[in-house]
Chains A and B, each alone.
Chain A
């Protein structure tokens, strides 16, 4: 908004420097009224909950009774709670197991889809995107039957090859792997589509020049495609970071509110959910929410730095 020039008849509002502005706003009241719904909705459903949760994080509240001021106790409990840190660790491990393969697969798929020799490209695009619009709950149920200890498909395959079955969902690594594979299945196509859009913005004369110079496909991929895709890769890394830190539905459906055996599937958001809506520690859960906020900000910053930094490194090896 530009500060309006003081109207000549602002004598009446002497001593109120903003009177001119208010009058200007009043003059354009219809316009302001027209854009107000978004701001109102955002105030009610965005700003207010955020501020209220900050207030709540210093209170002790079971959701029904009176709120009691709790000082920094919620934060202290959080930082000294083994399970909180365990959930942070789980979230990071699952993030690593899922994001790295996912982005590599997505890049390869996008590169193949973008190359000239693939036919039925549209059909492939739809096929790769389909997992993303499938209900997560349905996906989690299917995956739970894949990884099931006794009658799971994976163990069926293993035993039919004469190997001994693996108790996937009884140990940390198995649970992490199962959740990560769900994430990979669901998001690879989505990221591939984004990469594809990025690839199509790369000018074709670069490729043509490389071909004329006799570059191999691999060389073209590593010397031209990857460097020019950097901004898009940065984007997917950041969105995957935020998404990965907020992982909830997959573990909840796969291993339940307590995160399965030994809480190995407990992610930060699942922990927050359990503390708030299963155990009714609303004040504490708000504190966990803010703890999560800090973690996501820090981790996103680190990722951003890492991905940014590479830009300064020359691509020649």
Chain B
């Protein structure tokens, strides 16, 4: 009795404390090596992952879909310094990991240079640190364009053909003017675009000098693109062309579905968001090149952790997953826009889309993707960008003066960067 209780307790202790003590040694007996991959839902095409084992007879890929807050879980794993995967998906916050570049394998050491020419330069460079270490390999991209309601544009006397829209609304100022016209023509019920925060972000995405130089200096207070974005967002509010409706809310979905917002600039993946939000408007939307130029929002990467026993094999798997033809497949299955421009000319990229009135939007986004500027984000981009957007939000929702908001944002950023 006593003894069995003791044994039970001991067994419990072992179970509780021993989780990480006895890891299975890598099996060298059989020829198959096991690679682990972490990704989140819809970041990689599951169909492709299933094929890896057939494609590489000596590799078994154990792919794990990590739910919830992927970044937080990855950070926790990195902090624990063990138990990480071989291959890991990284989102557009990849630059936040630059200070920890030693935790990842430098892909240039594995021969990444050989395939570099197949991928978009601006996308490739987002995965390379300022000192030339490549920690992340391109997956999908998020080229931006103007989504607009063809019927509302027609009623307001604005151009309706995508090429014509781009020609007449080439600058943000022209776009705001058109917005004023549209609002008047439609009895003040319809706003040209959704909100200032996203507008600010979209203008910023069209430039190349953002908040930091590659050597880590903060240049936000004098960067031309930042000032341009700020001024544009403030003007949009002053001109009354924003609805003040935030994305990712039921409000936004309702506004889109009811036709209270005539257009917005967004990445290619907004297509799916829009289709889900506004099913009743199917066929009325079109896509044109964005005012102010082409930009990019989001898109992810794959990296190999330093702790991996088989970096070479892991890199082979990555190269295969992100090959031109496989990126094309991922585009067909999940709308993941390729980062290998060789795929753009494929007819599959240019099918007619009923939601967009039969328009082939692929060509628009492909053109946009080719023109994105090579920009350096820096490890603190998200932090700084968040502060800017919060202040801009106050301009539009609490009528704060744009200049005061700018001053406050700069003060707060300087404080944050010093901590």
Contact = CB atoms under 8 A, between A and B. Distances in A.
Given A29-B6, A37-B9, 20 more contacts: A30-B3, A33-B5, A37-B16, A44-B16, A62-B100, A63-B79, A64-B79, A148-B249, A148-B250, A149-B251, A150-B243, A150-B245, A258-B386, A261-B393, A261-B397, A262-B390, A262-B394, A262-B397, A277-B75, A279-B383
A37 B10 CA distance: 10
A26 B293 CA distance: 77
B398 A148 contact: no
B142 to A, nearest CB: 21
Interface string A1-36: 000000000000000000000000000011001101
Contacts of A145: 250
Contacts of B419: 73, 77, 281, 284
15 contacts: A33-B6, A34-B9, A40-B17, A44-B17, A64-B99, A77-B419, A144-B249, A145-B250, A150-B255, A151-B255, A170-B398, A258-B390, A277-B72, A277-B75, A280-B75
Interface in B30-69: 69
B244 A149 contact: yes
Interface in B239-289: 243-245, 249-251, 254-255, 258, 260
Given A151-B254, A261-B393, A63 B76 contact: yes
B398 A261 contact: yes
Interface string A37-72: 100110010000000000000000011110000000
Contacts of A301: none
B99 A150 contact: no
B397 A148 contact: no
Interface string B2-41: 1101101110110011000000000000000000000000
Interface residues of B, number: 41
B6 A37 contact: no
A34 B5 contact: yes
Given A64-B78, A148-B250, A30 B5 contact: yes
Interface string A122-146: 0000000000000000000100110
A45 to B, nearest CB: 10
A55 to B, nearest CB: 14
B103 interface: yes
Contact of A150 (B6, B13, B251, B386): B251
A167 interface: yes
Contacts of B72: 277
Given A29-B6, A64-B79, A150-B243, A167 B397 contact: yes
A263 interface: yes
B110 to A, nearest CB: 22
Nearest to A273: B72
Given A33-B5, A62-B99, A144-B249, A40 B16 contact: yes
Contacts, number: 91
Interface string B398-416: 1000000000000000000
A171 interface: yes
A3 B342 CA distance: 80
Nearest to B389: A258
A30 B6 contact: yes
Given A44-B16, A277-B69, A63 B5 contact: no
Contacts of A281: 419
A282 B249 CA distance: 29
Contacts of B2: 29-30
A255 to B, nearest CB: 10
A234 B109 CA distance: 66
B13 A261 contact: no
Closest 10 CB pairs of A and B: A33-B9, A30-B2, A170-B397, A64-B78, A64-B100, A30-B5, A151-B254, A63-B75, A63-B79, A261-B397
A282 B13 CA distance: 29
Contacts of B96: 280
B250 A144 contact: yes
Most buried by A among B3, B5, B9, B243: B9
Nearest to A44: B16
A65 B78 CA distance: 9
Nearest to A28: B2
A150 B254 contact: yes
A260 B290 CA distance: 28
Interface string A272-286: 000001011110100
Contact of B390 (A141, A148, A263, A277): A263
Nearest to A37: B12
Contacts of A65: 99-100
A151 B261 CA distance: 13
A6 B397 CA distance: 76
Interface in A145-167: 145, 148-151, 167
A97 to B, nearest CB: 20
Contacts of B398: 170-171, 261-262
A167 B393 CA distance: 14
Contacts of B3: 30
Contacts of B97: 64
A63 B78 contact: yes
Nearest to B408: A82
A239 B197 CA distance: 39
B410 to A, nearest CB: 14
A94 B395 CA distance: 25
Contacts of B397: 167, 170, 261-262
A262 B397 CA distance: 9
A220 to B, nearest CB: 47
